[in-house]
């Protein structure tokens, strides 16, 4: 293993070195970095040109200038890391730092949600293979896969932002819309749950009526104008989460797990008012304290599981902890919604969904208001990225699970008399995740390079935008800085993918 | 012959028993119980006595979405090339459409599309006009031609490079393999947009060059897949047999091994092509791809995205054709993958399920009576 890592490291270093030289020469040949000054009519044109030549060592030919740049990179070993300056004299290192931060903020959420939804869709379609639901999801995911992302993004801007903001001015769902949406919900849930004709009919009715109730409730109470959850809805949601988590993780028959999950849901209600008091202490509330609260509630969930115990104590702990995370997130959501009104009327002036940039400029507000601001600005680009990446994950998860479900050990598990839930969740799902893990690792590596097109449409200044602008200006140092960061990320996550794969699947050995 | 075992390698004469029969089929026929295993014979009945090519063709023809896609794609190709004619390498032929993509006719009715379904009427500008007066139909057709040309050139270049490098790396192994795989790593980390920018700014040539450059960058997935296949195939008996018969390395690679990886190659090439059409539109959108006065579908959308509220048709038509082309190529790729995958027995599964249902119904009827 050690020799594998060492050899791989050296090979990657060589690849990086050669590729960076290549990229430098190629980037230098895209055009003339002085062209904007040459065409300008400023009186001090020659001085400016001279200054830029000195700043960027443009008097050296590119194949030598590379070594000036490489020297700056190697300066990292003596504490003088330097990626050079842009044509405007800014330091690339600082630019890269802020751009990478913006990009991570934009892409991480999209990637995580995309993975969760994609894998879930893939699993459900694999379990309902060749059903109408499967065909519909397959068609829709192929459709999104075939849509250019800027087309999706422009549409989202039109309908998601402008349309939805107009809708929010007078949030009433019309009767035909209620009927169509309810029927749609019924059909979708019927497809997901499946089963006999009678069960399908029941599912259809329950889902349709539930959707209709929610929509009518929203219309009648004007909920969207003044969205709050309150203790009652919060507890209801927590109880629902407790049931779902129990059913998926240990099965409803497991008494201790059931009690654990429901206790944690009750804990959410007990903590509701104390937490609100804590959350209103604006001076101490920031990202870290909120994160700490979530962790504490998760740990409490685990503790509840430990106390309930049972035949397999760790199962209860796991159920409790998972329920705890989700309950904590619901509590946070409730608190965020409580600040919605302030944001809606005072910051966004009634048009909350943002289409430009990462945040409202010069916004000063509590943690909750700035949180909502970030969310409303993230919403559309995130949806665009998710829609574009959904197809890949769902198709991959579907193929992977189908492959596993045909294995002999699944037949063995069924023959032992295990329930379908245990077979799917414990024997099939976990093994199906192994190949997906590698894809995810590779995608995380590619993530830092940003979503050039999405950033362009929504005017985010992330890595993609940095690279794009530098390319248009023939600005070598930012191009090379971008290349360095993305290449290192790609190489290390590629390597990580191999290691994870061999760790998860003992049949694979990394000795090559 | 009731069961033929795994499909025999195509294009190989070595390794087959007398009469061109796969020796492994004899093995699977000799069963401990003396009779062929029931399930195998049912599963393989549909492919009995057929060559791999025919089996694949047959499965592909049964893939409804892929067949529909093939027809639709064909119609789009015919439409785009017949309407405004061919314009490549100075060769210009006229089409049946009255405008060309660079003509500027006078604006009729504010540039609104004249296409109506009821009553069906095409009119002088079915897809409308832009603010200058360019005929949108002619421009979209030209865009389709450009996009399809880029897709096919990129597909051919990348498939050729990927297949050859993958085969060489997998077959020779050792130092060759390591060097080629490091080359692959290198190509993966070179930003694609950079090369597109070079083609756009420095070369400023026709889009064929852009397509070839894209082809030089997107072969890496295929090379890795082919390498993996070749690594497994080169240990098989028919390769030994060919070597003993005195075949050269090149002959073994290209006559004996590569034909067996045709499934992987074809499927991967199709998927690369469908990815390329989106890639081309994205690059053109960012201003590095096809340049004015020529048009591509991505460039059209990029040029007219600000007109979305005032002249939405300028935005809709190129987008719809991008989706149609990408979607059809994706479905064709999906159909090919199913067709080449020997584990896919979709039609059979469905009929087996029907049989089961019938049996259940019969049993229920019996129990009821």
Residue-level pLDDT at B344: 53
- Using an 8 Å Cβ cutoff, are A354 and A360 in contact? yes
Q: Do B189 and A19 touch (CB under 8 A)?
A: yes
DSSP annotation of B87 reads E
Residue A346 distance to chain B (closest CA, Å): 28
Q: Do B309 and A158 touch (CB under 8 A)?
A: yes
**Token duo for residue B254:** 């290209």
**Token duo for residue B79:** 């439409």
Kind plus residue range of the DSSP H or E element containing B88: strand B87-88
Q: Do A19 and B186 touch (CB under 8 A)?
A: yes
Q: Do B331 and A30 touch (CB under 8 A)?
A: no
**Token duo for residue A209:** 């009526």
Give the strand pairing for B91-92 and B87-88: antiparallel
- Using an 8 Å Cβ cutoff, are A191 and A183 in contact? no
Length of chain A, in residues: 512
pLDDT digits (tens, 9 = 90+) for A39-78: 777 787 788 888 888 778 787 788 888 888 888 888 777 7
**Token duo for residue B246:** 């005195």
Give the C-alpha separation, B7 to B342, whole Å. Answer: 8
Q: Do B330 and A150 touch (CB under 8 A)?
A: no
Give the C-alpha separation, B241 to B139, whole Å. Answer: 57
Residue-level pLDDT at B360: 64
Q: Do B322 and A146 touch (CB under 8 A)?
A: yes
Contacts of B189 in chain A (CB under 8 A): 15-16, 19, 483, 486-487, 490-491
Contacts of A482 in chain B (CB under 8 A): 191
- Using an 8 Å Cβ cutoff, are A105 and A60 in contact? no
* A71-75 contacts, C-beta under 8 A, 24 or more apart: A73/A484
Whether B165 has a pLDDT exceeding 90, the answer reads: yes
Three-class DSSP category at A404: helix
Residue A474 distance to chain B (closest CA, Å): 10
Cis, peptide link before residue B293, omega less than 30° from 0: yes
Q: Where are the domains of chain A?
A: 2-95+447-504, 125-401
Contacts of A148 in chain B (CB under 8 A): 278, 281-282, 285, 298, 301, 319, 322
Say which range, A27-31, B170-174, B321-325, has the weakest mean pLDDT.
A27-31
Give the C-alpha separation, A478 to A487, whole Å. Answer: 14
Minimum CA–CA partner of B183 in chain A: A15
Contacts of B195 in chain A (CB under 8 A): 26
Q: Do A150 and B285 touch (CB under 8 A)?
A: yes
- Using an 8 Å Cβ cutoff, are A44 and A6 in contact? no
Q: Do A158 and B189 touch (CB under 8 A)?
A: no
Going from the C-alpha of A136 to that of each of A115, A129, A133, A204, B65, the distances in angstroms are 20, 11, 5, 17, 12
Contacts of A7 in chain B (CB under 8 A): none
Give the C-alpha separation, B367 to B202, whole Å. Answer: 81
Residue A352 phi, psi (nearest 5): -75, -35
Length of chain B, in residues: 369
Residue A184 distance to chain B (closest CA, Å): 24
| pLDDT bracket for residue B36 (50, 70, 90) | very low
Whether B305 has a pLDDT exceeding 50, the answer reads: yes
pLDDT digits (tens, 9 = 90+) for B46-72: 666 777 788 888 888 888 888 999 999
Using a pLDDT cut of 70, give the percent of chain B over it: 73
Q: Do A23 and B194 touch (CB under 8 A)?
A: yes
Question: Could you tell me the pTM of the whole model?
Answer: 0.82
Q: At what angle do helices A2-28 and A476-504 cross, to 10 degrees?
A: 160
Contacts of B349 in chain A (CB under 8 A): 130
Q: Do A468 and B274 touch (CB under 8 A)?
A: no
Q: Mean per-residue pLDDT for A142-155?
A: 86
Q: Which of B62, B177, B181, B189 to mutate to test the interface with A (most CBs of A within 10 A)?
A: B189
Q: Which of A146, A391, A452 to mutate to test the interface with B (most CBs of B within 10 A)?
A: A146
Residue B343 phi, psi (nearest 5): -80, -10
Kind plus residue range of the DSSP H or E element containing B91: strand B91-92
ipTM of the modeled complex: 0.77
Q: Write the Ramachandran bin of A226: left for phi over 0, alpha for psi from -120 to 50, otherwise beta.
A: beta
| CA atoms B350, B356, B362, B367: torsion sign | negative
Whether B158 has a pLDDT exceeding 90, the answer reads: yes
Cβ neighbours for A308, distance < 8 A, ≥ 6 positions apart = A256, A257, A259, A260, A263, A316, A320
Say which range, A8-17, B41-50, B331-340, has the weakest mean pLDDT.
B41-50
Cβ-Cβ pairs closer than 8 A, A with B, add up to 113
Residue-level pLDDT at B356: 57
Residue B20 distance to chain A (closest CA, Å): 32
Give the C-alpha separation, A27 to A477, whole Å. Answer: 10
Minimum CA–CA partner of B307 in chain A: A154
Chain A interface residues (partner B, CB cutoff 8 A):
11-12, 14-16, 18-19, 22-23, 26-27, 29-31, 130, 139, 142-143, 145-151, 154, 158, 406, 449, 452-453, 456, 467-468, 471-472, 474, 479, 482-483, 486-487, 490-491, 494
Minimum CA–CA partner of A479 in chain B: B194
Q: Do A151 and B301 touch (CB under 8 A)?
A: yes
Question: Which of residues A136 and B348 earns the better pLDDT score?
Answer: A136
| pLDDT bracket for residue B201 (50, 70, 90) | low
Q: Do B305 and A142 touch (CB under 8 A)?
A: no
Mean confidence (pLDDT) of chain B: 76
Contacts of A471 in chain B (CB under 8 A): 193-194, 197, 288
Chain B interface residues (partner A, CB cutoff 8 A):
65, 178, 182, 185-186, 188-191, 193-195, 197-198, 201-202, 274, 278, 281-282, 285-288, 298, 301-302, 305, 308-309, 315, 319, 322-323, 326-327, 330-331, 334, 343, 346, 349-350
Residue A30 distance to chain B (closest CA, Å): 5
Q: Do A146 and B182 touch (CB under 8 A)?
A: no
Q: Do B193 and A452 touch (CB under 8 A)?
A: yes
Give the C-alpha separation, B8 to B15, whole Å. Answer: 9
Q: Mean per-residue pLDDT for A416-432?
A: 89
Cβ neighbours for A145, distance < 8 A, ≥ 6 positions apart = A388, A391, A392, B326, B330
Residue-level pLDDT at B1: 34
Residue-level pLDDT at B161: 95
Domains of chain B: 138-340 (1.10.3720.10)
Residue-level pLDDT at B354: 55
Q: Which of B182, B201, B278 sits opposite A148 (nearest CB)?
A: B278
């Amino acid at each position: 293993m050690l020799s594998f890592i060492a050899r791989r490291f050296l090979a990657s270093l060589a690849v990086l070195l050669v590729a960076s030289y290549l990229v430098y020469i190629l980037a230098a040949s895209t055009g003339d970095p002085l062209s904007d000054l040459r065409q300008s009519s400023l009186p001090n044109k020659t001085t400016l040109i001279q200054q830029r030549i000195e700043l960027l060592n443009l008097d050296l030919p590119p194949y030598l200038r590379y070594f000036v740049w490489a020297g700056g990179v190697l300066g990292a070993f003596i504490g003088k890391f330097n990626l050079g300056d842009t044509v405007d004299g800014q330091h690339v290192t600082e630019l890269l730092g802020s751009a990478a931060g913006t990009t991570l903020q934009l892409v991480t959420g999209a990637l995580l949600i995309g993975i969760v939804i994609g894998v879930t869709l893939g699993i459900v379609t694999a379990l309902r293979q060749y059903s109408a639901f499967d065909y519909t999801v397959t068609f829709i995911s192929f459709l999104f896969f075939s849509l250019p992302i800027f087309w999706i993004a422009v549409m989202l801007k039109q309908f998601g932002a402008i349309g939805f903001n107009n809708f929010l001015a007078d949030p009433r769902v019309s009767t035909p819309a209620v009927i169509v949406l309810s029927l749609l919900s019924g059909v979708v849930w019927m497809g997901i749950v499946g089963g006999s004709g009678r069960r399908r009919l029941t599912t259809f009715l329950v889902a349709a009526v539930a959707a209709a109730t929610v929509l009518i409730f929203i219309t009648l109470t004007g909920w969207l104008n003044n969205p709050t959850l309150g203790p009652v809805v919060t507890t209801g949601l927590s109880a629902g989460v407790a049931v779902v988590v129990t059913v998926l993780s240990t099965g409803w028959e497991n008494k201790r797990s059931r009690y654990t999950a429901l206790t944690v849901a009750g804990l959410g209600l007990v903590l509701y008012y104390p937490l609100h008091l804590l959350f209103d202490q604006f001076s101490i509330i920031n990202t870290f304290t909120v994160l700490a609260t979530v962790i504490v509630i998760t740990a409490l969930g685990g503790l509840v599981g430990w106390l309930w115990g049972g035949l397999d104590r760790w199962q209860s702990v796991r159920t409790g902890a998972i329920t705890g995370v989700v309950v904590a997130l619901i509590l946070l959501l409730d608190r965020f919604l409580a600040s919605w009104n302030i944001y809606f009327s005072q910051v966004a002036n009634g048009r909350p969904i943002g289409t430009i940039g990462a945040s409202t400029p010069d916004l000063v507000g509590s943690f909750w208001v700035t949180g909502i601001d970030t969310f409303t600005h993230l919403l559309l680009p995130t949806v665009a990225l998710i829609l574009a990446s959904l197809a890949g994950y769902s198709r991959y998860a579907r193929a992977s699970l189908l492959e596993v479900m045909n294995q002999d050990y699944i037949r063995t598990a069924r023959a032992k008399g295990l329930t379908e839930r245990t077979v799917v969740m414990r024997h099939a799902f976990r093994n199906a995740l192994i190949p997906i893990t590698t894809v995810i690792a590779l995608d995380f590596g590619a993530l830092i390079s940003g979503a050039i097109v999405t950033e362009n449409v929504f005017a985010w200044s992330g890595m993609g935008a940095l690279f794009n602008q530098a390319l248009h200006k023939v600005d070598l140092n930012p191009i090379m800085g971008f290349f360095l960061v993305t290449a290192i990320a790609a190489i290390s996550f590629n390597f990580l993918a191999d290691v994870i794969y061999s760790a998860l699947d003992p049949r694979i050995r990394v000795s090559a | 012959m009731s069961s033929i075992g795994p499909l025999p390698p195509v294009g190989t004469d070595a390794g087959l028993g007398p009469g061109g029969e796969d020796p492994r089929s004899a093995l699977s026929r000799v069963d401990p119980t003396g009779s062929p295993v029931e399930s195998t014979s049912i599963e393989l009945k549909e492919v009995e006595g057929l060559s791999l090519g025919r089996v694949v063709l047959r499965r592909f023809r049964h893939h409804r979405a892929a067949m529909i896609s093939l027809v639709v794609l064909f119609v789009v190709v015919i439409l785009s090339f017949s309407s405004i004619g061919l314009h490549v390498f100075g060769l210009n032929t006229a089409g049946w459409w009255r405008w060309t993509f660079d003509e500027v006719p006078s604006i009729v009715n504010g540039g609104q599309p004249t296409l109506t379904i009821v009553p069906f009427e095409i009119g002088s500008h079915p897809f409308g006009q832009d603010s200058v007066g360019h005929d949108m139909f002619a421009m979209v057709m030209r865009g389709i031609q450009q996009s399809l040309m880029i897709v096919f050139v990129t597909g051919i270049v990348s498939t050729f490079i990927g297949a050859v490098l993958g085969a060489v790396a997998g077959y020779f192994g050792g130092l060759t393999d390591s060097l080629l795989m490091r080359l692959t790593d290198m190509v993966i980390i070179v930003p694609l947009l950079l090369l597109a920018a070079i083609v756009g700014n420095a070369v400023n040539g026709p889009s064929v060059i852009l397509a070839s450059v894209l082809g030089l960058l997107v072969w890496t997935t295929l090379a890795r897949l082919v390498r993996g296949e070749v690594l497994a195939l080169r240990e098989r008996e028919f390769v030994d047999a060919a070597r003993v018969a005195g075949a050269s390395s090149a002959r073994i690679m290209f006559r004996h091994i590569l034909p067996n990886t045709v499934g992987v190659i074809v499927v991967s090439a199709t998927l690369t092509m469908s990815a390329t059409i989106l890639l081309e539109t994205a690059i053109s959108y960012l201003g590095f791809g096809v340049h004015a006065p020529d048009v591509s579908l991505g460039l059209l959308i990029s040029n007219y995205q600000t007109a979305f509220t005032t002249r939405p048709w300028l935005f809709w038509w190129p987008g719809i054709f991008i989706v149609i082309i990408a979607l059809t190529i994706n479905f064709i790729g999906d159909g090919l993958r199913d067709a080449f995958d020997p584990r896919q027995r979709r039609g059979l599964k469905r009929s087996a399920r029907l049989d089961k249902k019938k049996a259940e119904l019969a049993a229920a009827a019996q129990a009821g009576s």
